[in-house]
Structures are given as structure tokens and as C-alpha cells.
Structure 1
């Protein structure tokens, strides 16, 4: 059974403001998480995992019981860890 991907409103807003080619690349990489999420994710803090996509970083909350990946934060590498 594959994972479901959900977006936090802040991450969705950031994605919508990116150029189309970059946002398509990010979406394509995140879609790969549906089948084998932990092949691409690294543990970050607490229940969060992170993923690197070029110059961008994604922080993801994983709900193991329901098999849901929640994209919490999407931002440039230099800014994401200052939150």
C-alpha cells in the first residue's frame, strides 16, 4: 500500500509561487515518495523527515499508522533551517 501525500497550506503557497519548471521537478520528486518514502528521506528532528531537491529542502511529517506524508515546509536550503 502506498503513502498519501498531503500539503500544508504554507508549503503549497510556496510551491505555487515557484517557476513552473521548478515546481514540476519538486512535484515529480515528491511523487516518488508514495511507494518508497524512506529511500529518499533523512530523519531531521522529532517526527520530521527532510528531503533535498536541488537548492530546495522539504520538511515532512510522517503519519505511520495512516500512511500519510504531510509536506509541512518547502523553502530554499539557506532559509528552511532558520525556522
Structure 2
């Protein structure tokens, strides 16, 4: 079963700021979420998940009813969680 992967505007802005090699690695990993959306680790609160791509993290949630993976935010592991908490 295939899921649609959607980018939140904040995630899209974060992605544009990254170096092209990192951006490519993240996009490859995100593509895999179409087939296996539960690939990432569970976060607290439980509706969010994180996907590790080297030193970067992609924070997303899965909508099982509409078969969508919504990428909410991405960034360097050093500050991604603080930024995500502040923004969302």
C-alpha cells in the first residue's frame, strides 16, 4: 500500500536551505516513507515520528485514514527538536 508524502511549508523551506548532497540523501530517505511510513522512530507525543538521515532529522506524522505522510520539519540534530517544539 502506497502513501502520499506531503511537505509542510516549513519543511520545504528547511529543505531548500540544506546543501545539495544532504538534500539528496534526505529526499531518498523520504521517498522510502511512501512504502514504509513507520520506518522512523516514535517521538513523544506519540503522533510524531522522526527519521534519521546522518546528522539530520525529519519530523513527520502519519495519517492512516487518508494514507498520507506529512513532513512537518527537518534540520540538524543539534537544534531540530527545540526548533520543532517552538514552531509547532
Please give the TM-score of this superposition, normalised by the length of structure 1.
0.92
Q: CA RMSD in A?
A: 1.0
Whole-angstrom CA distance in 2 between matches of 1:37 and 1:22: 21
Q: CA deviation at 1:56?
A: 0.4
2:37–2:62 contact (8 Å) kept in structure 1: no
* Alignment-derived partner of residue 4 in structure 1: 4
Structure 1 moving runs of 4+ over 4 Å: none
- 1:36 deviates by 1.4
In the TM superposition, 1:44-83 aligns within 5 A as: 44-46=43-45, 47-82=47-82, 83=85
Q: Aligned partners of 1:16 and 1:33: how far apart in 2?
A: 20
Equivalent pairs counted in the alignment come to 82
Structure 2 gap ranges (5+)? none
Q: TM-score, normalised by structure 2?
A: 0.87
Give the match for residue 32 of structure 2: 32
